[in-house]
Amino acid sequence: MVRPAGTARRPAARPAGLAPAPDAGMERFARLAASVMGVPVAMVALAEADRLTLPGLVGLKERRDVLRRLPLSRSLSGRVTATGEPLIVTDVRADARFAGQPPVAERQWGLAAYAGMPLTVAGQVLGVLCAAGPAARAWTDAQLADLTDLAAACSAELRSRAAARSALLAQQDAERDHRVAEQARVAAEQAGVRAQAGWDAAELLLRASQELAGAATLDDVQHLLRNLVSDPLKPVRTSLSLLQDGRLRPMPDTETDPAPPGAGPALSCALDENHPLAHAARERRLVSVGDPGELARAYGEGVAGAFALLDVRALVCVPLAHAGEVHGVLLIGWGEPHHAGPSERAVLTAIAGYVSQAVQRASVLDERVSVARQLQSAMLTDLPAAPGLDLAALYLAAAADDLVGGDWYDAFPLPAQTPAAAALTVAVGDITGHDMQAAAVMGQTRAMLRQAVLDHPGLGPAAAVTALQQACGVLDLHLSGTLLLGHLAPVARSGSWCFTWTNAGHPPPLLARPGAPAECLEEHGLLLFPGLDPGPRHDHQRFLKPGAVLLLYTDGLVDRPGTTIDEATAEVIAVLGACRDRPLPDLLNAVAAVAGDHPDDDIALLAIRVPRR
């Protein structure tokens, strides 16, 4: 088979930091894929030499060792890793593509329908996230879109693990350098021959290894780098240019003055240009220019003039490399002629190594958070049409970019048990944690709760929450968090609605009624926690007359620094009472403003109004 340009398959388990054994994180992705696709079998399969390793498997765990011994070429997953393309099969038994070489694995275990998405890292295909079932089926576009999102999230997890493994090795190198530098410093002191320049260089390298290891964002890298080199080297310009689409582009820097007109070519250039940045990147070595005359002779008057506008008259360019590939260049510029000696060159080369590792870690973290937020956003519900009710929802992510939480809301129709209009189920919850696992557990919880509601017709919300807890115990899903689940049913010939709810440790819903102050519906039970027996859960009821507004929310709205939860809740109640007659989207914006412009936690809001007749 022909692999698409830019992709390649390689042994995956070791670079991703995975042993050829079951892995808890990959098992979660397999469980989520099986749940989303509605099939009994799902797996995360990684290619290792000519065999499969299965760190994540649902539905065929007892066959893991046998499956792992199958050659890649004899399975549908092997075809995905070979081509780097998704493979969607309605019925493998009737698919003409496999008539000449039928897949052994799928036929041996009675699997007919198959949907597999490639897992990629840096353009390389590591394996496949797939779902399969024993009967032929036509996969829906929504299911395939969800599986694609899960594959992207799983790829991001593999990337982050590879980066973490690289970071660990880098930290070990830094610790070794630290020990070596300390030994050199002690030896110099004992011998009485310590040179100030050597001491400064050792101290600078120690600071670089320690401080850059803690950089979480690209802004952190620039800030720390500038502080590191400003005192000992006294440059007038410190810049990081990253390679993007064959061109070196400077990273945005809010701490330095913007480049004056005409100075742009000093910090940005194509990789094939005659330019010191491009020269360092192409040849993968430090490039030093000691004065303006040398700069003009080597790279032309145009480049020298652009640097002069930045007051740079001497410079050193050091390539930033990771895994054998150059991804950027570090520029240090001085306002006077400066000829870097061997010791200074060695120090700058070592610093560039630490900077390169920090840039890679920050980039991977940014990509992982971006994918997690996309996954979380994709799992939020589009509100259904609800005849006789007005609905609106709002989700606000935490201000901190590295927080991805498990806050969620849901609303879906509940078939009525009588000829009256159908009822509505509403829910809001908060899964403990701020990471990819919290977002994944949130998706599983929402799906399982929906199923629990639909499996218990005629029973109240407490029965569904109890069933959810029991299912989590059987499936060993460590569900921890809070949840409020309610049913809304019309009251015949009155225009009112009956709200029945159960509260598992969640902030109380707020109710604004015509002609009365807004209030908290305080009744609640214990939160959800592995191994915690909450005892019998109870349903509670309240009738909502026309004009009433019900607000469900997560704790990010009221749990914030500088105020108590009671004080914040009172403030929300006041806003709800004052804005009860405004359009629901405007009301939610007014309520969300209570938390400020930069909330510390995610916030999910769901508002329900009984319209006036």
pLDDT at 89 (0 to 100) = 93
Mark whether 400 and 347 lie in a shared domain.
Answer: no
Average pLDDT over residues 183-208: 59
Answer yes or no: is pLDDT of 366 > 80. Answer: no
Mark whether 350 and 431 lie in a shared domain.
Answer: no
Instruction: Report yes or no on 168 lying in a domain.
Output: no
Decide which of 477 and 505 is more confident: 505
Decide which of 204 and 497 is more confident: 497
Pick the last residue of a domain from 336, 369, 402. 369
Instruction: Assign 377 a pLDDT band (cuts: 50, 70, 90).
Output: low
Maximum CA pair distance of the chain?
98
Mark whether 553 and 597 lie in a shared domain.
Answer: yes
User: Residue 385 in contact with residue 377, Cβ under 8 Å?
Assistant: no
Amino acid at 367: E
Task: Give which of 265, 215, 272 is closest to 241, Cα–Cα.
Answer: 265
Mark whether 44 and 155 lie in a shared domain.
Answer: yes
- The DSSP call for residue 528 is B
Picking from 79-93, 117-131, 255-269, 400-414, which range would have the lowest pLDDT averaged per residue? 400-414
Report which listed range, 209-223, 254-268, 319-333, is most confident: 319-333
Instruction: Report yes or no on 215 lying in a domain.
Output: yes
The H or E element spanning position 427 is: strand 423-431
pLDDT at 224 (0 to 100) = 76
Write out pLDDT tens, residues 344-361: 888 888 888 888 888 887
Write out pLDDT tens, residues 280-302: 999 999 999 999 999 999 999 99
273 φ/ψ angles, rounded to the nearest 5 degrees: -80, 160
Average pLDDT over residues 178-184: 79
* pTM exceeds 0.85, yes or no: no
Answer yes or no: is pLDDT of 429 > 80. Answer: yes
Classify residue 336 as exposed, middle or buried by CB count within 10 Å of its CB (0-12, 13-18, 19+). exposed
pLDDT at 374 (0 to 100) = 58
Task: Give which of 206, 211, 145 is closest to 180, Cα–Cα.
Answer: 206
How many CB atoms sit inside 10 A of residue 65's CB?
8
Write out pLDDT tens, residues 115-132: 999 999 878 898 999 999
Instruction: Report yes or no on 107 lying in a domain.
Output: yes
CA distance 505 to 486: 14
Specify which residues 510 forms β-bridges with. Answer: 520, 551
Instruction: Report yes or no on 101 lying in a domain.
Output: yes
User: Residue 222 in contact with residue 255, Cβ under 8 Å?
Assistant: yes
Mark whether 388 and 363 lie in a shared domain.
Answer: no
Task: Give which of 458, 456, 457, 484 is closest to 470, Cα–Cα.
Answer: 456
pLDDT at 29 (0 to 100) = 92
Provide long-range contacts, Cβ within 8 A and 24+ apart, for 401-404.
401/217, 401/366, 401/369, 402/216, 402/365, 402/369, 403/434, 403/601, 403/602, 404/369, 404/372, 404/373, 404/376, 404/434, 404/435, 404/436, 404/438, 404/439
User: Residue 107 in contact with residue 134, Cβ under 8 Å?
Assistant: no
Mark whether 217 and 351 lie in a shared domain.
Answer: yes
Answer yes or no: is pLDDT of 25 > 70. Answer: yes
Mark whether 341 and 450 lie in a shared domain.
Answer: no
Answer yes or no: is pLDDT of 589 > 90. Answer: yes
Pick the last residue of a domain from 146, 161, 176. 161
What is the CATH classification number for the domain harbouring 357?
3.30.450.40
User: Residue 274 in contact with residue 299, Cβ under 8 Å?
Assistant: yes
Specify which residues 42 forms β-bridges with. Answer: 58, 131
Question: What is the distance, to the nearest Å, from the Cα of residue 10 to the centroid of all Cα atoms in its chain?
Answer: 25
Q: Which alpha helices (DSSP H) does 256-341 contain, by range?
A: 276-283, 292-299, 301-309
- Calculate the alpha carbon distances from 513 to 258, 498, 550, 557, 612 in Å: 56, 14, 9, 21, 11
User: Residue 588 in contact with residue 605, Cβ under 8 Å?
Assistant: yes
107 φ/ψ angles, rounded to the nearest 5 degrees: -70, -35
Write out pLDDT tens, residues 236-285: 888 888 888 889 998 887 677 777 887 888 888 999 999 999 999 999 99
Answer yes or no: is pLDDT of 2 > 60. Answer: no
Mark whether 451 and 566 lie in a shared domain.
Answer: yes
Decide which of 257 and 562 is more confident: 562
Mark whether 428 and 510 lie in a shared domain.
Answer: yes
Classify residue 235 as exposed, middle or buried by CB count within 10 Å of its CB (0-12, 13-18, 19+). buried
Instruction: Report yes or no on 148 lying in a domain.
Output: yes
pLDDT at 298 (0 to 100) = 94
pLDDT at 194 (0 to 100) = 42
Instruction: Report yes or no on 578 lying in a domain.
Output: yes
How many residues comprise the chain? 613
Instruction: Report yes or no on 182 lying in a domain.
Output: no
Mark whether 93 and 220 lie in a shared domain.
Answer: no
Instruction: Report yes or no on 2 lying in a domain.
Output: no
CA distance 524 to 538: 8
How many CB atoms sit inside 10 A of residue 557's CB?
26
User: Residue 122 in contact with residue 32, Cβ under 8 Å?
Assistant: no
Write out pLDDT tens, residues 438-453: 677 777 888 888 998 9
Instruction: Assign 50 a pLDDT band (cuts: 50, 70, 90).
Output: confident
Classify residue 320 as exposed, middle or buried by CB count within 10 Å of its CB (0-12, 13-18, 19+). buried
pLDDT at 263 (0 to 100) = 80
Mark whether 365 and 385 lie in a shared domain.
Answer: no
User: Which residue is listed with tokens 């290894």?
Assistant: 209
CA distance 85 to 264: 40
CA distance 270 to 397: 38
Average pLDDT over residues 70-84: 80
Mark whether 405 and 554 lie in a shared domain.
Answer: yes
Mean pLDDT for the chain overall: 82
CA distance 504 to 502: 7
Total domain count for the chain? Answer: 3
Amino acid at 59: G
Tell me the residue ranges of DSSP E strands in 35-86: 41-48, 51-58
Picking from 121-130, 209-218, 491-500, which range would have the lowest pLDDT averaged per residue? 209-218
- Calculate the alpha carbon distances from 174 to 169, 178, 205, 357, 530 in Å: 9, 6, 9, 11, 40
46 φ/ψ angles, rounded to the nearest 5 degrees: -110, 140
What is the CATH classification number for the domain harbouring 599?
3.60.40.10
Decide which of 136 and 255 is more confident: 136
Instruction: Assign 548 a pLDDT band (cuts: 50, 70, 90).
Output: very high
The 3-state secondary structure of 287-310, one letter per residue: EEECCHHHHHHHHCHHHHHHHHHC
pLDDT at 486 (0 to 100) = 95
pLDDT at 172 (0 to 100) = 84
Picking from 180-194, 393-407, 563-577, which range would have the lowest pLDDT averaged per residue? 180-194
Pick the last residue of a domain from 346, 369, 392. 369
3-state secondary structure of 492: coil
Decide which of 319 and 217 is more confident: 319
Q: 501: domain range?
A: 380-609
